[in-house]
Structure 1
Amino acid sequence: MALDLLDRTLAFDATSAVAPDEVAGGDIFGRIGPLEVRLARNDREIEAAQALRYRVFVEEMNARLPPEAMLARRDFDAYDDFCDHLLVLDNALDGDVEDQVVGTYRLLRQEVAMRHGGFYSAGEFDIEPLLARHPDKQFMELGRSCVLPNYRTKRTVELLWQGNWAYALKYKMGAMFGCASFPGTQPEEHALALSFLAQTVGAHGEWAVSARPELARPMDLMPAEAVNARKALSAMPPLIKGYLRLGAMVSTEAVVDQAFNTTDVLIILPIASISDRYVNYYGADAGRFAS
């Protein structure tokens, strides 16, 4: 359960570019007005991200977390201890820094994952063959993405991607991946969108990924002649549409996550596949934070 619930697509224009001039060389990856994106600096900021995740996943999406997480009102697990946590903060909000966290992503690099037992997504998808086919590439996993309702705007999405892109450049990543979610635990309710993904942007060949056999659910649920692309896209979670614009591929099997009340697919996004439009949009600024 990860790349879900941002409610704007990645549709940019030249008038909304991120402008981080005064923060080059620091640990801030970008700014738009009072909003800034950077990595969490301490445990308190990580706990603020976990509290934000609780508000979105539990209070909004009805996820069922372990008892200790429900009691603490924070979404946390063992991965939080060694992942990096990307934050969007609104500096115009009163209070401490922890009170200003309005969006988050959890980032996990391959070298770190291998030291700690693997990637989170491996609990749902068979990722090892994908990694083995690309020994020359370093992968990064994007997870636990969420944003407060009032901040689900294009500016927030742009900042999160400014951060992801700068982070990928900094650590010389070759590909990104992570779970993307449809609401609910009945894949058949999303037959149109899932069929479109499987038939149109399904990952095959060297980028193919299967769901774990005991969890795999079919996605190609409708004949191709019955799949209307426009209707399929309109029925799709906005963040998945954003990934498609970037050039992502999608697993051809889904997994039902009962705890988070979602139907998950795996997004695979090779850095080399990201369209030049977005590389040009982010490259000039994000590259300044990659050293």
Structure 2
Amino acid sequence: MLSLRKGRYVSRLAETAADIRAAQELRTLAFRNGDAAALDQDQFDPLCKHFLVEDARTGDLVCCFRLLPLRGGAEINQSYSAQYYELSALQDFAGPMVEMGRFCIHPDHRDPDILRVAWGAMTRFVDETGVEMLFGCSSFKGTEADAYMDAFALLKEKHLAPKRFLPRIKAPNVFRFAQKLRRAKPDAKRAMLGMPPLLRTYLLMGGWVSDHAVVDRDLNTLHVFTGLEIKAIPAARKRLLRMVAG
């Protein structure tokens, strides 16, 4: 069972075309300023499992994300992320993988329990399917890096991918933060304030990022490739996630 209820929020798999349409409309609001003429949909939607987090009292959709399961690194070039990152370093990863994409929370809903329930649903999926690596693109809002220099400096200093997994540059427009901020020292408080909540959670679990950010003008974001080996998650963090997922 991949449905999950905690407090006022419930997560579930999308079951109908209307469910997926609702997720696409929330994504449009989050990534395309609600432009009804530019519904956020792509060729990966039919291949993915779509998760919804709803307010159980009102039925409002407050969060969504999609998952693309892969049998291993040999299938990494079938992922959404492979459009933007050269991922040959991950092709030899032997275990099951899943790509998390289009994660967004409704801008009118700021309850931190929403993120907890979403990660609880993800944890249950990982446990039930034996996933060994979670990955995806973590997005900063906007395409100007200046507002996030401390965040990027912190990523460079503490959270770069191990060399055996490091993605290489593929996209035509990137910000090479590890190179440009080689000598920069981050202000930790400003760095965490500038870090997207999804990425912050990845990092707390032991996740790592690419050494560059892709400038995505289509979605008006800067994003970094983010990876997390499930076996690397600290035991205490696993217990907390499973308490939510249980």
Tell me the TM-score normalised to structure 2 length. 0.89
Contact 2:70–2:76 (CA under 8 A) maintained in structure 1: no
Select which of 209, 223, 226 maps to 1:250.
209
Q: Structure 1 residues 208-217 or 108-117, which shifts more?
A: 108-117
Contact 2:205–2:234 (CA under 8 A) maintained in structure 1: yes
- How far apart, in 2, do the equivalents of 1:204 and 1:113 lie? 16
**C-alpha distance after superposition, 1:144-173 (max 9, x if no partner):** 011112322211011100111111112111
Q: CA deviation at 1:92?
A: 1.4
When residues 225 and 88 of structure 1 are mapped into structure 2, their CA distance, relative to the original with a 3 A threshold, is closer
Select which of 54, 71, 79 maps to 1:119.
79
Q: CA deviation at 1:46?
A: 0.7
The residue that corresponds to 1:141 in the other structure is 99
User: Partner letter of residue 63 of structure 2?
Assistant: G
- How far apart, in 1, do the equivalents of 2:171 and 2:114 lie? 36
Select which of 1, 4, 7 maps to 1:33.
7
The residue that corresponds to 2:185 in the other structure is 226
Higher relative contact order (CA 8 A, sep 6+): 1
Select which of 109, 127, 152 maps to 1:151.
109
User: Partner letter of residue 222 of structure 2?
Assistant: T
Larger Rg: 1
Contact 1:113–1:119 (CA under 8 A) maintained in structure 2: no
Which ranges in structure 2 are unaligned for 5 or more consecutive residues? none
**C-alpha distance after superposition, 1:253-273 (max 9, x if no partner):** 111001111111111111011
Q: CA deviation at 1:192?
A: 2.3
**C-alpha distance after superposition, 1:200-220 (max 9, x if no partner):** 110122221223163443112
- How far apart, in 2, do the equivalents of 1:232 and 1:106 lie? 27
Which ranges in structure 1 are unaligned for 5 or more consecutive residues? 1-25, 63-69, 94-98
User: Partner letter of residue 42 of structure 1?
Assistant: T
The residue that corresponds to 1:130 in the other structure is 90
Contact 1:176–1:269 (CA under 8 A) maintained in structure 2: yes
- How far apart, in 1, do the equivalents of 2:153 and 2:161 lie? 13
Q: CA RMSD in A?
A: 2.5
Q: In the comparison of the two structures, how many residue pairs are matched?
A: 245
User: Partner letter of residue 13 of structure 2?
Assistant: L
The residue that corresponds to 2:70 in the other structure is 110
Q: Structure 1 residues 106-115 or 264-273, which shifts more?
A: 106-115
**C-alpha distance after superposition, 1:175-209 (max 9, x if no partner):** 10111112222224422221220221101222212
The residue that corresponds to 1:177 in the other structure is 135
Identity of aligned residues (%): 27
Q: Structure 1 residues 232-241 or 123-132, which shifts more?
A: 232-241
Pairing of 1:156-235 with structure 2 (within 5 A):
156-212=114-170, 214-220=172-178, 221-224=180-183, 226-235=185-194
- How far apart, in 2, do the equivalents of 1:226 and 1:27 lie? 42
